[in-house]
């Protein structure tokens, strides 16, 4: 019994070896299977990456064939056609690519904007003057020697868009071509004010489309006044036998900054005939009060010439203004232009003259507005615009009263004269004609002179 129990309690060495061998065999098989799976996955990934890179290279090589929305340019067509003819002699592939580019460009009117291959993947920096310079590059690059085909010039290029030449044309200056009917000439000048030296710099630039009397050849010159001083003036040189004189002359007026905005520039354009007589062709009146004149602020201005009123002023002086009525907005507009020949109570620079514009209805006051004061001039210039609300049904009962008033510091205001324009109910003669012409020409400015009447 002891022999049996001892034998059963011992393990067989052969069976242990078989078990270990089977375990090792299964492990090797598992490792081989796992290695095969991993190797297959890596091979599949490698094949996919290779295929993707080949597809990207093919797409990049033919990217310029996908140009769409470009615009036609005849010069570009001629260049590309010549280049494609040269390339046909070398390779059929390049010829095919060039023909596609020609077809695409023939559908457009703009020029393709292309970055050359040598500039790809470069960094760019902005300069203060808004130019672009390539970072780390030599601005004076020496081109490669030897002929280059059209394929070499475009095959590696990026088409980043197109340029429309119409966007880079300078806008046409209509002031040189757009002359209204009845125009007697147009004058260009510039003004600038120096604060420190208190000097007004006036540059007479040019005059265009002058209308001389009869068929005489025109020899013009210009006189320049700084109103209200009409006793002194500056004069340009005379230009012989031209209707479009170019002056380019500079003039200086000494005027304090306090008085600057009370002054007015006046240009008189004359023609000298063969007998040396002077004929006034037209004038330009330009008040300085509405302009922003500072150092380094040079204003270039043009104005149409106006005919001077050669009739002598009336007993109490005259006033010029424009009327306009907008029937759609129900708005009555008055532009007070100037007065002349005023009978001032005293001639002094401390005297100021302004115009009061009043809207009346059935002789009842509705609303009034007034211009800025002009100092010490019997011929003040205003150029100020006022608007009043007035329904179209009220035009038969409404009227405008323009009063010219003089005031002296510390004294009472004096009425120099007034004029009333309106319908038949209130006016006759030129005042009634002016009102009726305004109604018959809606939205147009109707300009006229009127004699002032004095009333106590």
* Per-residue burial over 325-347, b = 16 or more CB atoms within 10 Å of its CB, e = otherwise: beeeeeebbbbbbbbbbbebeee
Nearest to 195 by CA among 287, 300, 294: 294
Q: pLDDT-derived band of residue 413, with 50, 70 and 90 as boundaries?
A: confident
Q: What DSSP state is assigned to residue 373?
A: P
Compute the CA torsion angle 49, 54, 56, 57 (nearest 10 deg). 140
- pTM for the full predicted model: 0.49
Taking every pair of C-alpha atoms in the chain, what is the biggest distance, in angstroms?
169
Compute the CA torsion angle 370, 372, 373, 378 (nearest 10 deg). -80
DSSP strand E in 305-363: where? 318-326, 331-340, 352-361
Mean pLDDT of 45-62: 82
User: At CA 394, angle to CA 391 and CA 397, rounded to 5?
Assistant: 160
pLDDT 10s digits, 85-106? 544 444 444 444 444 444 444 4
What pLDDT sits at residue 315? 86
Helix (H, G, I), strand (E, B) or coil at 164: coil
Q: CB–CB of 431/421 below 8 Å?
A: yes
What pLDDT sits at residue 84? 47
Q: Which residues contact 199 (CB under 8 A, 6 or more apart)?
A: 193, 252, 253, 254, 255
Q: CB–CB of 236/245 below 8 Å?
A: no
Q: CB–CB of 306/284 below 8 Å?
A: yes
Mean pLDDT of 13-23: 71
Q: CB–CB of 57/50 below 8 Å?
A: no
What pLDDT sits at residue 134? 42
pLDDT 10s digits, 24-35? 888 888 888 888
Q: CB–CB of 393/327 below 8 Å?
A: no
Helix (H, G, I), strand (E, B) or coil at 115: strand
Q: How many residues does the chain have?
A: 456
CA 57/CA 117 separation, integer angstroms: 15
DSSP strand E in 228-277: where? 229-235, 246-254, 264-272
Nearest to 139 by CA among 129, 124, 149: 124
- pLDDT of 108 higher than 60: no
Q: CB–CB of 129/121 below 8 Å?
A: no
- pLDDT of 398 higher than 80: yes
Helix (H, G, I), strand (E, B) or coil at 325: strand
- pLDDT of 215 higher than 70: no
Nearest to 407 by CA among 321, 359, 332, 348: 348
- pLDDT of 308 higher than 50: yes
pLDDT 10s digits, 65-88? 444 444 444 444 444 444 445 444
- Could you give the residue ranges of the DSSP H alpha helices within 64-123? 74-88, 92-105
CA 81/CA 186 separation, integer angstroms: 50
What pLDDT sits at residue 109? 56
What tokens were used for 251? 């003039």
Q: What DSSP state is assigned to residue 410?
A: T
**Does the CA dihedral 205-209-213-218 come out positive or negative?**
positive
What pLDDT sits at residue 117? 60
Residue 259 or residue 91, greater confidence: 259
CA 10/CA 12 separation, integer angstroms: 7
Q: In the β-sheet with 331-340, what is the strand arrangement from edge to edge?
A: 381-389, 331-340, 318-326, 446-451
């Amino acid at each position: 019994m002891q022999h049996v129990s001892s034998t059963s309690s011992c393990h067989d060495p052969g069976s242990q070896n078989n078990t270990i061998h089977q375990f090792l065999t299964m492990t090797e098989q598992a490792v081989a299977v796992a290695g095969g799976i991993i190797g297959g996955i890596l091979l599949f990934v490698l094949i996919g990456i290779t295929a993707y890179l080949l597809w990207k290279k093919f797409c990049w090589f033919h990217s310029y064939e996908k140009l769409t929305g470009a615009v036609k340019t005849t010069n570009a067509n001629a260049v590309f056609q010549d280049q494609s003819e040269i390339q046909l002699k070398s390779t059929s592939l390049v010829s095919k690519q060039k023909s596609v580019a020609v077809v695409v460009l023939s559908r457009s009117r703009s020029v393709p904007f292309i970055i050359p291959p040598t500039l790809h993947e470069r960094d760019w920096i902005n300069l203060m003057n808004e130019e672009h310079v390539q970072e780390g590059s030599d601005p004076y690059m020496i081109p490669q020697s030897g002929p280059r085909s059209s394929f070499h010039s475009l095959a590696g290029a990026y088409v980043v868009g197109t340029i429309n030449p119409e966007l880079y044309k300078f806008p046409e200056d209509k002031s040189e071509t757009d002359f209204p009917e009845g125009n007697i000439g147009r004058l260009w000048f510039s003004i600038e004010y120096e604060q420190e030296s208190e000097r007004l710099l006036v540059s007479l630039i040019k005059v265009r489309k002058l209308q001389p009397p009869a068929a005489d050849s025109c020899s013009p010159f210009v006189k320049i006044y700084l109103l209200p001083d009409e006793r002194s003036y500056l004069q340009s040189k005379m230009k012989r036998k031209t209707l479009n004189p170019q002056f380019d002359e500079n003039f200086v007026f000494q005027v304090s900054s306090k008085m600057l905005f009370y002054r007015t520039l006046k240009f008189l354009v004359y023609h000298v005939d063969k007998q040396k007589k002077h004929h006034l062709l037209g004038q330009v009146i330009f008040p300085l009060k509405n302009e922003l004149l500072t150092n380094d602020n040079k204003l270039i201005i043009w104005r149409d010439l106006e005919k001077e009123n050669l009739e002598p002023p009336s007993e109490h002086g005259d006033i010029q203004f424009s009327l306009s009525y907008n029937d759609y907005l129900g708005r009555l507009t008055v532009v007070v232009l100037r007065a002349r020949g005023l009978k001032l109570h005293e001639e002094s620079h401390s005297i100021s003259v302004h115009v009061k514009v009043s809207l009346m209805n059935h002789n009842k006051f509705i609303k009034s507005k007034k211009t800025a004061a002009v100092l010490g001039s019997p011929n003040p210039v205003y150029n100020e615009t006022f608007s009043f609300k007035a329904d179209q049904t009220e035009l038969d009962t409404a009227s405008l009263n323009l009063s010219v008033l003089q005031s002296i510091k510390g004294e009472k205001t004096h009425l120099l004269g007034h004029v009333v324009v309106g319908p038949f109910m209130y006016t006759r003669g030129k005042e009634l004609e002016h009102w009726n012409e305004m109604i018959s020409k809606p939205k147009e400015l109707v300009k006229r002179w009127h004699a002032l009447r004095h009333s106590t």
